[in-house]
Amino acid sequence: MKSNIIAIFMLLATTLSVAAYTGVKKEFPDVFNLSGNNPVKNKPVKNNVETLHHKRQKSVQQPSAMRNKIDVVFVLDTTGSMGGLIQAAKENIWSIASSMAQAQGAPEIRMGLVAYRDRGDKYVTKVIDLSSDLDSMYAQLMDFEAAGGGDGPESVNLALSDAINKVSWAQNKDAYKVVFLVGDAPAHMDYPNELKYPEIIRRAKSKNIVVNAIQCGNDTGARNNWRHIVQLGSGDFFQVAQSGGAIVMTTPFDDKMAHLSKELDSTRLYYGSKELKRKKHNKILASMKLYASSSRASQAKRAAYNTSKSGEANLFGDAELVEDISSGRVNLSSIEPEYLPEKMQLMSQEQQEEVIKYSSEKRTKLKKQISELAARRSEYIRQEVTKKGNSENSLDEKIFRSIKKQAGEKGIVYLGDKAAL
């Protein structure tokens, strides 16, 4: 009975509403019976949770400084002819992340996006900065629709410039930093007072950023531009069909993985100042948007990524109470009550510890189930793809081959030779 009551609490714990003590006591009677009828606040300490938060970041950064870093920015044409590729990106971004996560040492992975059209369209460029919070990036990607364009060249130069100069690239010289330019039309080379791609690529190389180019379709002008860009940027060029050329497939495992993923998300408990918890609430909203808007297959791919070591940064982020306490980075008694999740503020420390213990155990069980299903899902897809043949020419495999080769030059080792599906 106690576990059932706590489970109900965990489903509600991601909300930021403040309940009166009597209401919470009525809602979770068994939890409050663990140590009496009155809530017992944690003992106040000298350092508040913001100080603890900074200490936690430092403690995490020290070991992670030894982990390899991968920064990937997609520069994506979002004009009307690119509908197929945009949909492919929405379906396969998690597979690409999982492919990168296959490297030895569980690299730190950040992704960003620059969407571009042309002058006179609804927008010229939109920049989504690099972040390990792929949920928030993906939530914004879901809003992009193909529209505009249709008159030939696009604002490729400005898009590349924004990708190189307006994105927070890692300063570590050993990080693998890469741009994937994806489009079907050549660059406008006639716009005055605008940097052109030869100079932009020179600046990219000075920052150790590799520039790859994926041509969608068969436009000769685009092909000439794209080949010149990769020649200057020490990158790879490859061509895909207008539909995107990615492997998109539903499996019998998708629904179950999506369901377990949602349960796993429900175990997250964020702590900190009101401002910090507000930011984390936005992260939760991004996850909720994903469940409401994306396909079951995408949700299954996200679940697989989140259970990898690299995916923990997306699943939890920072200031996640269960992870911080379970790992020993933070002591529960060191956190002032007002910085705890609101409903935990009304519990005794014994009750709080019980919730954290339950959440940690549930989390471990769910991750194991998801990992097992992910392996079965991957094998199922490989068998289906083998039947159809020509999988080596899929967008997934082309991107993975580039990543494996280029990341290897930075000492990032991939033992496998297949993309994650």
Confidence tier at 27 by pLDDT (50, 70, 90): very low
Q: Is residue 117 part of a domain?
A: yes
CATH code for the domain of 159: 3.40.50.410
Q: Are strands 108-116 and 125-131 parallel, antiparallel or unpaired?
A: antiparallel
Q: Is residue 31 part of a domain?
A: no
Average pLDDT on 65-70 reads 86
Clarify whether residues 153 and 299 are in a common domain.
Answer: no
Q: Please answer whether residues 140 and 179 qualify as being in contact, where contact means their C-beta atoms are separated by less than 8 angstroms.
A: no
Confidence tier at 12 by pLDDT (50, 70, 90): very low
What are the tens digits of pLDDT across the range 255-279?
999 999 999 999 999 999 999 999 9
Average pLDDT on 299-319 reads 97
As a whole number, the mean pLDDT across the chain is 87
Average pLDDT on 311-338 reads 95
Does the pLDDT value for residue 220 go beyond 60? Answer: yes
CA pair distance 181, 240, nearest whole angstrom: 13
Clarify whether residues 122 and 140 are in a common domain.
Answer: yes
Q: Is residue 11 part of a domain?
A: no
Clarify whether residues 231 and 305 are in a common domain.
Answer: no
CB atoms within 10 A of CB 146: 17
Per the structure, the count of domains in the chain is 2
Does the pLDDT value for residue 293 go beyond 80? Answer: yes
Clarify whether residues 80 and 219 are in a common domain.
Answer: yes
Burial profile 356-395: b = 16 or more Cβ within 10 angstroms, e = fewer:
bebbbebbeebbebbeebbeebbeebeeebeeeeebeebb
Q: Is residue 100 part of a domain?
A: yes
Please give the pLDDT value at position 10.
47
Q: Is residue 196 part of a domain?
A: yes
- Specify the pTM: 0.86
Does the pLDDT value for residue 123 go beyond 80? Answer: yes
Confidence tier at 120 by pLDDT (50, 70, 90): very high
Closest CA to 116 of 169, 181, 167, 177: 181
Clarify whether residues 285 and 227 are in a common domain.
Answer: no
Clarify whether residues 111 and 203 are in a common domain.
Answer: yes
Q: Is residue 264 part of a domain?
A: yes
Please give the pLDDT value at position 30.
45
Q: Regarding predicted confidence, which is higher, 18 or 387? A: 387
Clarify whether residues 83 and 178 are in a common domain.
Answer: yes
Please give the pLDDT value at position 15.
40
Clarify whether residues 222 and 264 are in a common domain.
Answer: no
Please give the pLDDT value at position 252.
98
Q: Is residue 194 part of a domain?
A: yes
Does the pLDDT value for residue 31 go beyond 70? Answer: no
- Distance from the first to the final alpha carbon of the chain: 40
> For residue 47, which phi and psi values (nearest 5 degrees)?
-85, 130
Q: Is residue 1 part of a domain?
A: no
Please give the pLDDT value at position 390.
65
Range of the domain at 340: 49-63+250-381
Clarify whether residues 193 and 258 are in a common domain.
Answer: no
Clarify whether residues 179 and 264 are in a common domain.
Answer: no
Clarify whether residues 195 and 283 are in a common domain.
Answer: no
Report which DSSP code applies to 154. Answer: B
Residue 120 buriedness (CB in 10 A; 0-12 / 13-18 / 19+): exposed
Report which DSSP code applies to 339. Answer: G
Clarify whether residues 173 and 82 are in a common domain.
Answer: yes
Please give the pLDDT value at position 50.
53
